[in-house]
């Protein structure tokens, strides 16, 4: 919900503040991806579906990181 609200009102902020908010979201996604990858590494040999779920979530986070990075790059290019 917090992320949805940020994106709902992001366009109202000055470009520098928009970039700051995107950076915060990037840091959160990167941190979560690192935590999940660590958990994945720890349970690599375990049976069950945990690793399948972790792979799915890690992939989703990597897509979000790319999307946020692309958005940041686009905003920076518009400000140049």
Model pTM greater than 0.85? yes
Residue pLDDT, tens place only, 6-43: 999 999 999 999 999 999 999 999 999 999 999 999 99
Domain span at residue 14 reads 2-79
Instruction: Give the 3-state secondary structure of the chain.
Output: CHHHHHHHHHHHCCHHHHHHHHHHHHHHHHHHHHHHHHHHHHCCCCCCCHHHHHHHHHHHHHHHHHHHHHHHHHHHHHHC
CATH number, domain with residue 70: 1.20.1280.20
Kindly tell me if the per-residue pLDDT of 80 is higher than 70. Answer: no
Number of domains comprising the chain? 1
């Amino acid at each position: 919900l917090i992320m949805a609200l940020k994106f709902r009102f992001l366009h109202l902020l000055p470009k520098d503040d928009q970039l700051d908010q995107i950076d915060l979201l990037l840091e959160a996604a990167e941190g979560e991806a690192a935590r999940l990858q660590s958990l994945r590494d720890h349970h690599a040999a375990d049976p069950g579906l945990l690793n399948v779920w972790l792979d799915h979530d890690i992939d989703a986070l990597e897509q979000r990181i790319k999307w946020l990075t692309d958005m940041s790059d686009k905003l920076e290019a518009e400000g140049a």
